[in-house]
Structure 1
Amino acid sequence: MSVGVQVRRWLPLLGLLALAACQAPESASPVPEPRPMARPEDLGPSQEQLRKARAERNRAANAAAAEALVKASATSTAQRDFYDRAERALRGQGRLRRDRVPLDAPIDADLLTRNFIAIALRDEYAQGGMQAVDGGVPAPLRRWQDPVRLQIEFGTTSDVATRRAYRVEVSQFAARLAEVTGHRVSLTDSGGNFVVMVLSDDERRAIGPRLAQLVPGIPPQDIEVMQALDADNFCTVFAYSRGATPVYSNAVALIRAELPPLLQSSCIHEEVAQGMGLANDSPDARPSIFNDDEEFALLTRHDELLLKILYDPRLRPGMTPAEAEPVVRRIASELLAQSL
């Protein structure tokens, strides 16, 4: 708006100056020395004022985060130590690997097809929010139709540096997902339909009202699951559709603020990718982050291929495993042939 106001304000003056320039001077009177014009009051804050305002906001946010950490419950404080130890232990066992194309885990079309059916066409959670057994419950193929707009929400315990690091990583991962799937995925500051919440233990337990705002009609049992998340669960995601349609319209991912850096990254990769439509985990999926053994921390080439298959136009939301399997096998064979 300020640019428009400035243009309209100065247009009459510019018109007069142009008209004067077209007239011949009547006399050779001395030209007065130009004087610097005072800065108009309605141009808005200067760059220096904006810089100072940002610095002040950052100082306030850091101070609030420090105060919140001091006031954090003993549970939240203990969890930071617990997750630090967990990450060190997992890495010591050779888990949380970061190789995208592990040489010790070759893939072929049969493996990709089998893993896609197990991960994309089964649900990790049954109705009521209870975790399913025996590899999950059968489900139709689901994915997004509208662009995915990722929005990050933080609790007060997250300082400015943490928030900036999350935004950079989620933005980069969104661009990677968009490239892999061919679907529009981006980070937004507001109005997102896929919200990633980074919360401490205390903040998570009080998140019910905010979840009800983000997803009107969210099942109460889902709120309960997020508020009562077991300590062994680093993060989780819930995706929703309108009515009985197999097309996602909203998703909410929850990541514990107490996690150390590699587990944070692992949660971003797994929960956002699962929220795209790869809803299940499988103990047989390898090399993959969609396996609860935590062998791989970050999205692998195998997982990228699963996402490519999911958003291939030859598949459609609502397909059953029997309908999808021959199409998936054909797509998997083509993708592997292209990469040879």
Structure 2
Amino acid sequence: MPSRFFPLIILSLGLAFSALPAKAAMDGVSPSQLLRQFDDVVFGAENGYENPTVKRWGQSLDFAIFASDETDMIPPVDQIEQILGEISTITGVEIKRSPEPANANLRLGYFPRRDFAALPARDREDERYQNFINKSACLGVLQASEQKVEGGVIMIGTDISAPLQGHCLIEELVQMMGLPNDACNYQPSLFCEADHVSEMTDADKILLSLLYDARLQHGMSRHDAMPLVAHMINELMPFEDPQ
């Protein structure tokens, strides 16, 4: 699977992004919906894989991008810069390019979907994993301990439409931050498989910020984390309906 490395990715981490959205900008999303969405996307069991603890980046994210030699596609550098700049602003995680691809802890590749089977993963022989990659337009594999995300690989198909590539790009990058599952407790949402949105909604941004709030600890169990998350949501938009 020969590939080209793109060292020109320079993240504009100083970009001026707006503050987190106020309650008035939440488009009808209730506190209870937000809480259920957090529970599902952080702790849900998708494709048979359970995630019982809070996992998020505990070090800088060193990024490299690749593309297959079999295609003339040039990765969308400006779009990648914008997405990762916004993620850095929301989470506080330092994101920087890796001049040497071997040193990157997050690798993004654009390849024909037939090459997805070569993606390095400890579960490559697992039938669930094989079923997953066979039906995916794009996919990401997290490398994580019980407490922290330590790295990851994202592959986006070059043989899918440009709009779907755009959706895949932001979905996989955001999920790689520790929000790995799909859920549709509110719509539209980046995390809802039925919604092919091309950017985070206001509620999605709040979910990401909640995960990286200092009151949550790396490796915290669902039992301990969810009451804290409910409290944080209540600070933003008080619960008016039963949780």
Alignment of 1:254-265 (within 5 A): 254-265=155-166
Aligned to 2:185: 284
Cα distance, 1:256–1:139 mapped onto 2, change above 3 Å: same
Q: For 2:237 and 2:62, locate their aligned partners in 1 and report how far apart those are by CA, in whole Å.
A: 30
Q: State the Cα deviation string for residues 143-193 of structure 1 (Å, max 9, x = none).
A: 11011122111111332xx32x42222122110100111221234342211
Distance 2:114 2:220 in 1: 41
Question: For residues 62-115 of structure 1, what are the alpha-carbon distances to aligned partners after superposition, in whole Å with 9 as ceiling and x for unaligned?
Answer: xxxxxxxxxxxxxxxxxxxxxxxxxxxxxxxxxxxxxx9998941232221121
Name which of 162, 167, 174 aligns with 2:77: 167
Partner of residue 220 from structure 1, selected from 107, 110, 124: 124
Q: Which residue of structure 1 aligns with residue 142 of structure 2?
A: 239
Alignment of 1:40-189 (within 5 A): 105-127=27-49, 137=50, 139-159=52-72, 162-163=73-74, 165-189=75-99
Match of 2:149 in 1: 248
1:219–1:302 distance in 2 versus 1, CA, 3 Å = same
| Aligned amino acid, residue 110 of structure 1 | S
Contact in 1 for aligned 2:140/2:152 (Cα 8 Å): yes
Tell me: CA distance 1:104–1:193, structure 2 relative to 1, closer, same or farther (3 Å): closer
Contact between 2:43 and 2:51, CA under 8 Å: does it hold in 1?
yes
Where 2:206 maps in the other structure, the secondary structure is helix
Tell me which of 274, 278, 284 is aligned to 2:175: 274
Alpha-carbon separation, structure 1, partners of 2:183 and 2:88? 24
Question: Kindly tell me: are residues 181 and 266 of structure 1, through their superposed partners in 2, closer, same or farther at Cα, counting changes over 3 Å?
Answer: same
Aligned to 2:198: 297
Q: 1:312 and 1:241 mapped to 2: Cα distance? A: 19
| 1:234 Cα deviation after fit | 1.4
Segments of 5+ residues of structure 2 without an aligned counterpart are 5-20, 239-243
The gaps in structure 1 that reach 5 residues or longer are 1-60, 62-99, 128-136
* Change beyond 3 A, Cα 1:114–1:202: closer
Choose 1 or 2 for highest CA Rg.
1
Give the AA of the match of 2:71: S
Name whichever structure is richer in helix by fraction.
1
Seen in structure 2, the aligned counterparts of structure 1 residues 186 and 285 have a Cα distance that, compared at 3 Å, is farther
The answer to whether residue 221 in structure 2 is matched with residue 316 in structure 1 is no
Alignment-mate amino acid for residue 48 of structure 2: A
The partner residue of 1:203 within 94, 99, 115 is 115
* Aligned-pair Cα RMSD in Å: 2.9
User: Does the C-alpha gap of structure 1 residues 335 and 226 become closer, same or farther in structure 2, counting only changes over 3 Å?
Assistant: farther
Q: Given the superposition, is the C-alpha separation of residues 103 and 307 from structure 1 closer, same or farther in structure 2, using an over 3 Å criterion?
A: closer
Cα 1:285/1:279, change in 2 over 3 Å: farther
Could you tell me the percent identity over the aligned residues?
21
**Residue in 1 aligned with 2:104?**
192
**What TM-score results when the alignment is normalised by the length of structure 1?**
0.56
The answer to whether the 8 A contact 1:305-1:335 is kept is no
**Distance in 1 of aligned mates of 2:140 and 2:187:** 21
Residue type of the partner of 1:175?
G
Q: Structure with the greater relative contact order (CA < 8 A, sep ≥ 6): 1 or 2?
A: 2
Paired amino acid for 2:223: A
Q: Secondary structure at the match of 1:326?
A: helix
- Normalised to the residue count of structure 2, the TM-score between the two structures is 0.77
For residue 202 of structure 1, report the CA deviation from its aligned partner.
4.1
